[in-house]
Structure 1
Amino acid sequence: MRSALIVYGGWAGHEPEECATIYRRWLHEDGFSVRTATETSAFADPSIHDLSLIIPIFTMSKIEKEEATNLAKAVENGVGLAGHHGGMSDAFRDSVEYQFMVGGQWVAHPGDIIDYRVDVAKPDDPIMAGVKPFNYTSEQYYMHVDPSIEVLATTTFSGEHNSWIDGVVMPVTWKRHHGKGRVFHTTLGHVAKEFEVPEMATMMRRGMNWAARQE
């Protein structure tokens, strides 16, 4: 049986516990055994190297050097990593080792909660199969991203809130490899209610299954 660990906490505005509950249900339905933790010390546990998948939901906060190193080594050795929004790509701002693994870091969301469009960049990818471009209401994340990521979906900034980024096309959803491990991320999902958006849920659920270590 595939095994997963969800580590949640950090800034409460991203509803980490509610999101962890959704992930736990999906993972159980998809045949995983699941355990959860609410402290970053879970990342330092040697047993994470035996997992299929790790899901961090820990906006901002701090990760100790040994925790980040053990997590990165687990992924390099084949454990999958998947997650959403600031719970993954605005976690542990002072850890470049963690950011290197994720493939991107949040830096701004001009206008805060706004209406924007998500475009499909790779409709032939299995994660994106059948997903059409869709309108979305949330924070539109402006990211600093690793050029090695494989972009699956994008959004285009209008310049309404910051004129100098008018027309910038920004990755929304991506996958990548970190050593032997697979990494999946989407910047969607500011609050748990957004998991009810079919396109977001489809990408996230398929993405976490793709990321999980191939048994």
Structure 2
Amino acid sequence: MREALIVWGGWSGHEPEECAHIIRDMLQEDGFKVYLEHSTEAFADPQIHDLSLIVPIMTMSKIEKEEVKNLSSAIESGVGLAGYHGGTGDAFRDSVDYQFIVGGQWVAHPGNIIDYRVNVTKPDDPIMEGISDFPYTSEQYYMHVDPSNEVLATTTFAGDHAYWIDGVVMPVAWKRKHGKGRVFYSSLGHVAKEFEVPEMATIFRRGANWAAR
């Protein structure tokens, strides 16, 4: 049986505990044995090297050097990592080693909660199969991203809230490798209710299964 670890905490505005329970149920339905932890100390446990998947939900938290070193080593050895929105893409702002794993870092969401569109760029990828471009209401994440990411979906900024980024095409979902490990990330999912959006939930679910060893 595949085993997954969800580590949740950080900024409460992203509803990390509620989202952790949603993802736990999702992964259990897909045949995973799931562990939930509420501290970054879990990343320092040598046993994470035996997992199939790690899901960090830790917006704006701190991670110790030995914790991120062990996490990176686990991913490099083949453990998968999957994450979404700020829980993964805005966790551990002062850890470049962590950002190197994820392949991106949140820097802004001009206009806060707005209506925007998600454009599927890899419709033939199994993660995106059957999903067409769709409207979305949430924070539109502006991110600094790794050019080695394999981008699955994008969004285009209109410039209404920051005129100098008008027309910028920004990755929304990507997959990548970190050593032998697979990494999946989606910027969708500000609060738990967004998992009720079929496209959002499907993209994350498929991405997590793809990433898992």
CA RMSD of aligned residues (A): 0.3
Which residue in 2 is equivalent to 1:22? 22
SS of corresponding position for 1:195: helix
Give the equivalent residue in structure 1 for 2:77: 77
Q: How many positions carry a matched residue from both structures? A: 213
Q: 1:133 matched to which residue of 2?
A: 133
Q: Does 1:107 align with 2:107?
A: yes
One-letter amino acid of the counterpart of residue 70, structure 1: N
Percentage of pairs with the same residue? 77
**What is the alpha-carbon distance in structure 2 between the residues aligned to residue 28 and residue 197 of structure 1?**
20
Instruction: Say whether residues 1:193 and 2:210 are aligned partners.
Output: no
In the alignment, the residues of structure 1 paired with residue 34 and residue 197 of structure 2 have an alpha-carbon distance, to the nearest angstrom, of 24
Alignment partner, residue 173 of structure 2:
173
Unaligned runs of 5+ in 1: none
| TM-fit CA distance, 1:126 | 0.3
Q: Distance in 2 between matches of 1:137 and 1:27?
A: 25
Query: Runs in 1 of length 4+ with deviation above 6 angstroms?
Result: none
Say which SS state the counterpart of residue 131 (structure 1) adopts: coil
Q: How does 1:91-170 map to 2 (within 5 A)?
A: 91-170=91-170
Letter aligned with residue 106 of structure 1: W
Kindly provide the CA deviation profile for residues 172-203 of structure 1, in whole angstroms up to 9, marking residues without a partner as x.
00000000000000000000000010000110
1:212 aligned onto 2:207 = no
Distance 1:202 1:131 in 2: 9
Structure-2-length-normalised TM-score: 1.00
Any stretches of 5+ residues in structure 2 without a counterpart? none
Alpha-carbon shift at residue 61 of structure 1 (Å):
1.1
1:72 alignment partner, SS class: helix
TM (norm. structure 1) is 0.99
Partner of 1:66: 66
Query: How far has the Cα of 1:167 moved from its partner?
Result: 0.1
